[in-house]
């Protein structure tokens, strides 16, 4: 049936029906070899007609786009809004294996990929499209001083510890009450400032927190539904770091507010003494370290260490970053702390989950296609992706060099700001880091909203935005953002072609049996992509001429269920995947800064996030607005079902 769905619009309809009957028999007998032979025989017999184009299969026409200056971006625009056009059934278990076998065959795989791309409008909207605008190949924006109000500028030669202190000085007033385990309506997570105060006052030591962290990770892995937060962590190394931090506090000489604070690192970021086992948008493999050994810390990790942070291990992720669920057949499925039967999102699934569950106030992820903001939204935490180029990428797997970006997951905006201050800046171009001073919110008069979406999420986002604008007397401007589906597809082409290019030398030596089945499918599909950009940057520049930020839901759906058939093979669920990433692509494809803030919950109690997208280099404006949104929502945050209180003295 899977193959029929993929083929039901092609010229081989009758032939494929016969093939399906045969395939059903093969599936029943659990013997794929005869099926592959028959498939190759059928395809070889007809391949000459297909590849010569005589049957018309390879004559997919592309759309002709009107010039950008003729596009109406107003709220009453008649621009056609194309919803996500995903024609691919969910597959897991044995179906994924069959699909992978066919994709990896030389002839039938080529045919399958062509039809898959054609049916999903990739040829029409992107590959064969005609447009007047010149493509933008790298979203690297010239630094522009936006003259933002209420900001603190930090010199590029300031040390990470000095940056952290400047960030602490910029923080707005925070809630001083403790985590209340008995009253979920007043729940909040411990912040970096909470850890720093507790250590400085002697209420608890970093060593004690480290011990409680290790016990909590052990407990989470032994649960009926293992949470699978980490791919790798070293208890001895964690205790060593914590002991050194404890001694510094006893001497009255902590390095910074981050001293002794547990911080987790996504697996695709180099971090000693752990091997980097993953790949950027495909993550958490068991083979990459064999061809790319980790010899030290990434630049962002070195900066956190220099501030005294305790690096507690490498978090789980979707294998090779090639999916949105966080289901990893090698290291286990990272589960959502709000509902362990639901996904945590991907690919930075482990980083989002450890923050949500209270194991760390902040963690690092990498955002190549919403991979920080998506799991942050699903797990009810902050997800922040700076402007492309703002954070050095030394020591991060270079799989998606024009769309991937180190990002921050944190329990609060305050913590995201502190970590951002520590790891940003000091780039070769020496742009200064600019932090928001949020004690006084300035008047942001223009917020472009784009909320065309499913009802439950749309209503929650609309209510939160209305509350924000009413409270601060801000104005909204409704806009139409055309060609979102085209941008999503173009992003897939870009990230896919870059990923396979980055991995090409490693894949030549790889035994594909070491990959999860869903990752094998992803690599085969990615290998068929050719990168081709569109003109969304020009469209967004026109929108930003009318507004300071764009606001949209972070995801189109909340966390969906984890099914047992996917645990050992992974799953292909491109319909849910498209709904999850749809409103996040501009941050990656165009290199724009973006932040997601938790604003509410659906009827199952699953978190909903609201996303703010800004102009290049406008991190202070985004953080001003995000602080304002958080202040209005934080008193209503709910405690996850899985939560660990590391500052509890008992």
**Rounded to an integer, what distance in angstroms lies between the CA atom of residue 122 and that of residue 116?**
9
Backbone angles phi, psi at 444, to 5 degrees: -90, 115
**Rounded to an integer, what distance in angstroms lies between the CA atom of residue 301 and that of residue 176?**
29
**Rounded to an integer, what distance in angstroms lies between the CA atom of residue 572 and that of residue 332?**
16
Domain total in the chain: 1
Non-local (6+) Cβ contacts of 90 within 8 A are 571, 572, 573, 575, 576
Q: What is the pLDDT of residues 510-566, one digit of tens each?
A: 666 667 777 777 777 766 665 555 688 888 888 888 888 888 899 989 999 999 988
How does residue 52 score in pLDDT terms, banded at 50, 70 and 90? very low
Residue 307 in any domain: the answer is yes
**160: pLDDT strictly greater than 60:** yes
Residue 362 in any domain: the answer is yes
Q: What is the pLDDT of residues 334-355, one digit of tens each?
A: 999 999 999 999 889 999 999 9
Give the percent of the chain with pLDDT over 90.
37
Residue 335 in any domain: the answer is yes
Taking CA atoms, 520 is separated from 43, 116, 486, in Å, by 22, 16, 25
CA angle 252, 307, 254 (to 5 degrees): 5
Non-local (6+) Cβ contacts of 196 within 8 A are 254, 257, 258, 259, 260, 261
Residues β-bridged to residue 342: 561
Residue 97 in any domain: the answer is no
CATH code, domain carrying 220: 3.90.1300.10
Q: Work out the mean pLDDT of the chain and round it to a whole number.
A: 79
Q: Is-cis flag, bond preceding 347, omega within 30?
A: yes
How does residue 505 score in pLDDT terms, banded at 50, 70 and 90? low
Taking CA atoms, 21 is separated from 35, 98, 574, in Å, by 11, 15, 25
- Extended strands (E) in 527-641: 549-553, 571-572, 594-601, 607-614
Domain holding 230, by residue range, is 151-174+191-636
If 0-12 CB within 10 Å is exposed, 13-18 middle and 19+ buried, where does residue 240 land?
middle
Q: Which of the two residues, 185 and 219, has the higher pLDDT score?
A: 219
**Rounded to an integer, what distance in angstroms lies between the CA atom of residue 13 and that of residue 133?**
38
Under DSSP, the state recorded for 125 is I
Residue 106 in any domain: the answer is no
- Whether residue 1 contacts residue 20, with contact meaning beta carbons closer than 8 Å, is answered with yes
Residue 524 in any domain: the answer is yes
**Rounded to an integer, what distance in angstroms lies between the CA atom of residue 266 and that of residue 396?**
10
Token pair 């969910």 is found at: 90
**Rounded to an integer, what distance in angstroms lies between the CA atom of residue 188 and that of residue 172?**
16
How does residue 452 score in pLDDT terms, banded at 50, 70 and 90? low
Question: Considering Cα of 369, then 372, then 375, then 376, what sign does the dihedral take?
Answer: negative
**Strand pairing category for 339-343 and 335-336:** antiparallel
- Whether residue 619 contacts residue 146, with contact meaning beta carbons closer than 8 Å, is answered with no
Residue 567 in any domain: the answer is yes
- pTM score > 0.85 for this model? no
Residue 74 in any domain: the answer is no
Q: What is the pLDDT of residues 283-305, one digit of tens each?
A: 445 545 454 566 789 999 999 99
**Rounded to an integer, what distance in angstroms lies between the CA atom of residue 34 and that of residue 152?**
68
User: What is the CA 637 to chain-centroid distance, rounded?
Assistant: 22
Residue 448, both tokens: 């472009």
- The separation between the first and the last C-alpha atoms of the chain, rounded to the nearest angstrom, is 56
Please identify every residue annotated as catalytic.
266, 347, 371
């Amino acid at each position: 049936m899977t193959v029929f769905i993929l083929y039901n619009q092609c010229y081989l309809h009758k032939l494929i029906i016969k093939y399906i009957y045969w395939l059903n028999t093969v599936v029943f007998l659990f013997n794929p070899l005869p099926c592959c032979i028959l498939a190759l025989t059928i395809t070889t017999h007809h391949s000459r007609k297909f590849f010569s184009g005589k049957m018309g299969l390879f004559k997919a026409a592309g759309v002709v786009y009107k010039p950008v200056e003729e596009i109406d971006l107003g709220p009453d625009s008649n621009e056609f809004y194309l919803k996500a056009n995903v024609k691919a059934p969910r597959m897991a278990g044995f179906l994924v294996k069959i699909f992978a076998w066919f994709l990896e065959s030389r002839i039938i795989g080529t045919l399958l990929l062509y039809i898959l791309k054609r049916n999903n409008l990739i040829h029409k909207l992107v590959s064969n499209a005609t447009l007047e605008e010149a493509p933008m190949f790298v979203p690297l924006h010239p630094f522009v001083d936006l003259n933002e109000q209420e900001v603190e500028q930090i010199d590029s030669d300031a040390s990470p510890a000095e940056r952290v202190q400047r960030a602490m000085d910029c923080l707005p007033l925070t809630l001083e009450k403790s985590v209340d385990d008995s009253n979920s309506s007043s729940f909040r997570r411990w912040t970096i400032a909470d850890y720093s105060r507790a250590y400085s006052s002697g209420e608890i030591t970093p060593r004690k927190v480290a011990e409680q962290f290790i016990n909590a990770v052990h407990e989470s892995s032994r649960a009926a539904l293992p949470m699978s937060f980490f791919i790798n962590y070293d208890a001895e190394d964690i205790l060593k770091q914590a002991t050194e931090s404890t001694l510094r506090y006893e001497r009255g000489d902590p390095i910074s507010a981050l001293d002794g604070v547990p911080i987790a690192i996504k697996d695709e970021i180099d971090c000693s003494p752990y091997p980097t086992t993953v790949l950027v948008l495909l993550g958490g493999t068991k083979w990459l370290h064999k061809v790319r050994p980790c010899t030290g810390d990434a630049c962002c990790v070195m900066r956190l260490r220099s501030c005294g942070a305790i690096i507690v291990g490498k978090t789980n992720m979707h294998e090779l970053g090639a999916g949105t669920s966080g289901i990893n057949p090698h290291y286990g499925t990272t589960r959502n702390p709000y509902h362990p039967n639901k996904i945590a999102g991907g690919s930075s699934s482990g980083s989002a989950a450890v923050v949500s569950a209270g194991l760390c106030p902040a963690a690092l992820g990498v955002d190549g296609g919403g991979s920080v903001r998506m799991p942050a939204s699903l797990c009810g935490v902050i997800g922040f992706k700076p402007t492309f180029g703002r954070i050095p990428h030394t020591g991060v797997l270079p799989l998606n060099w024009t769309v991937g970006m180190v990002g921050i997951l944190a329990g609060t905006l305050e913590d995201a700001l502190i970590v951002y201050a520590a790891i940003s800046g000091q780039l070769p171009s020496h742009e200064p880091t600019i932090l928001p001073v949020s004690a006084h919110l300035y008047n942001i008069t223009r917020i472009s909203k784009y909320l065309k979406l499913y009802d439950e999420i749309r209503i929650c986002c609309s209510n939160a935005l209305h509350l924000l604008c009413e409270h601060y007397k801000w104005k909204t401007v409704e806009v139409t953002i055309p060609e979102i589906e085209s941008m999503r597809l173009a992003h897939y082409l870009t990230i896919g072609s870059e990923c396979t290019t980055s991995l090409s030398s490693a894949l030549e030596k790889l035994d594909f049996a070491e990959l999860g089945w869903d990752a094998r499918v992803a690599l085969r599909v990615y290998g068929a992509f050719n990168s081709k950009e569109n003109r969304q940057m020009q469209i967004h520049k026109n929108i930003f001429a009318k507004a300071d930020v764009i606001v949209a839901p972070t995801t189109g759906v909340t966390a969906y269920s984890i099914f047992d058939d996917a645990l050992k093979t992974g799953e292909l669920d491109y319909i849910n995947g498209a709904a999850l990433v749809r409103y996040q692509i501009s941050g990656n494809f165009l290199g724009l800064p973006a932040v997601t803030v938790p604003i509410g919950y659906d009827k199952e109690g699953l978190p909903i996030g609201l996303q703010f997208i800004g102009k290049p280099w406008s991190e202070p404006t985004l953080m001003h607005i995000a602080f304002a949104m958080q202040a209005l929502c934080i008193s209503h945050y709910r405690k996850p079902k899985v939560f660990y209180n590391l500052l509890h003295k008992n």
